[in-house]
Amino acid sequence: AQTVTQSQPEMSVQEAETVTLSCTYDTSENNYYLFWYKQPPSRQMILVIRQEAYKQQNATENRFSVNFQKAAKSFSLKISDSQLGDTAMYFCAFTWFAGSRLTFGEGTQLTVNP
């Protein structure tokens, strides 16, 4: 069974600074997909960034980037120039093929302070 672990229940960062959220996972699959989702207080889960395991290049989306280390089964999220609107719960998620269920980590509550 696949598992996803986020070891940081809470983190905080000052506005405009950079923060990194950690995620590790366990799988015997070679091809899979990894995601970071953001859940603000509105409860709406929003996809932040995705990474295909077969791609060596780390994904980036504006201020968000990942550090994907396949051998180490690590998938961290870096948020640059943090904004107050980034305050949310962040979930790391895994799926091993398109159309399959997502397996989520426990989540990291990020607070951006003014």
Partner 1 sequence: GAGVSQSPSNKVTEKGKDVELRCDPISGHTALYWYRQSLGQGLEFLIYFQGNSAPDKSGLPSDRFSAERTGGSVSTLTIQRTQQEDSAVYLCASSPTFSSYEQYFGPGTRLTVT
Residues in touch with partner 1 (CB under 8 A): 33, 37, 42-47, 50, 91, 95, 97-107
CB of 101 to partner 1, least distance (A): 4
Q: Which residues contact 29 (CB under 8 A, 6 or more apart)?
A: 2, 53, 96
- Report the C-alpha gap between 99 and 96 in whole angstroms: 9
- Residue with Cβ nearer partner 1 (83 or 101): 101
Report in angstroms how near the CB of residue 1 gets to partner 1 at its nearest.
Answer: 12
**Measured from the CB of residue 60, what is the shortest distance to partner 1 in angstroms?**
17
Give the integer Cα–Cα distance in Å for 20 and 30: 25
Structure tokens at 60: 């980036």
Q: What is the DSSP string of 80-98?
A: -S--GGG-EEEEEEEESST
Which one, 82 or 91, has the nearer CB to partner 1?
A: 91
Q: Which residue, 41 or 114, is less far from partner 1 as judged by CB?
A: 41
Least gap, CB of 35 to partner 1 (angstroms): 8
